[in-house]
Amino acid sequence: MSSKFKVLITDYGFENVNEEKKLVEEAGGELHFGQYKTESEIIAAADGVDAIIVQFSKLTTRVIKSLRNCKIIVRCGIGYDNVDLETAKEMGIIVCNVPDYCIDEVADHTLALGLTLARQVVGIDNRTRKGIFKMAPITSMPAFKDMIFATVGLGRIAQQVLERARGFGFTLAAYDPFVENHIFEEKGIIKMDLETIFRKADILSLNMPLTSETKHIINGDSLAKMKSTSIILNTSRGGLIDTQALASALQNNVIGYAGLDVFENEPLEMNSPILNCKNAVLTSHVAFYSEASLLKLQKMAAEEVVRCLVGEKVKNRVA
C-alpha cells in the first residue's frame, strides 16, 4: 500500500470530518470528502481511491463497478442497505459497518417512544390543552406488568431495549431465528415465532436490518393479526414497514399506536399518509444521536478503514 493511500468520504451529516482526517493522515494517507449524492458525482470523486466511507449516499452497482482500486467500503452507521453487497463481493471489496456505536442511545429512544405511547402521554396532553380534564385515559391502558414488550430481532440493540423494559415490569419476548435458544433462556426472554409475536405483543419493536427478506415485514397481513391496542415501534429502517398499510391500520383502529424514528423515504415527505395519523409519534431519525455517539461513529468508521489499508484484520465485516 502506498504511503499516500486515498480515502473518500462520499457524504456526511456531521459538523466536520476532523476526526477522520486526523486518523487517516496519522496512518500515512490523505482524506478527500464532499457531499456527493448522484452516481456520477460519486464515480468522479471516487476515481483512484483506496477506501470509501459512506453515510447516506447510495453505492449502486454502477458506482461499485467503477471502483478499480478500492479495497474497503465502510458504512458510517449500523445499517448497510445503501451499499450493493453482491457487487462489492464480485469486485473483491470488503464492506464493513459500525454496529456498536449508539446501542444505548437507540435503546433509550425506543423505550421512550414505547412508554410515551403506552401511557398515552401525547394524546392526553393534547386533550388537556383543549380544556378536557379527564382522570382517565383515552383508550384502554393496562399496567406494564400486564403487557408483553417484544422485539423482532434480538441483536445488540434489541437486547438493550428489552433489558430496559424489564425494569418497568413488562413480560419480555422476541423473535429471532438466528439466535440460539440458550440466549433467550439466559436473558429471561420468551422465544416466539413471528405469527405468535404479531398476535401477542402489546408493544412490538422492530430491531433488525433491512434486507430483501425483511422489507415490509410489517404489512397489511401482519397488521391484521395484531391486537387493536398494540403499539409498533421502529428505530431501525423505514423499509421494514409498508407505510401505506400502517397509516391505514392506524386510521382504522386496526392497531393502537406507532412510534417511528425512520421512514421509507427520508426526509419524511409532507404528503406521507403517516402525517395524518394522530395516534403516531414521529421523530426525525434522531434515535442514534448524542454528542458522544457522533464522535464515536466517526472515529470507528475511520479506524476500520485504516485497519484494512495498513494490513490489519477488520472488525465488522458484513461482506
| Residues with catalytic function | 237, 266, 285
- Rounded to a whole number of angstroms, the distance between the first and last alpha carbons of the chain is 22
DSSP 30-93: EEEE----SHHHHHHHTTT-SEEEESSS-B-HHHHHT-SS--EEEESSS--TTB-HHHHHHTT-
The answer to whether residues 107 and 291 touch, using CB atoms and an 8 Å cutoff, is no
Residue reference for cell 426525525? 284
3-state secondary structure of 309: helix
Locate 190 and state its grid cell.
Answer: 420468551
Locate 277 and state its grid cell.
Answer: 395519523
Locate 46 and state its grid cell.
Answer: 471516487
Burial 143-157 (b: 16+ CB within 10 A, else e): ebeebbbbbbbbbeb
Name residues whose C-beta falls within 8 Å of residue 311's C-beta, 6 or more positions apart in sequence: 1
Locate 253 and state its grid cell.
Answer: 383502529
Locate 289 and state its grid cell.
Answer: 444521536
CA dist list (Å): 284 to 10, 121, 265, 281, 288:
22, 19, 11, 10, 11
Helix residue spans in the chain (DSSP H): 18-26, 39-45, 61-65, 85-90, 103-118, 121-129, 156-166, 181-187, 194-200, 220-224, 243-251, 291-309
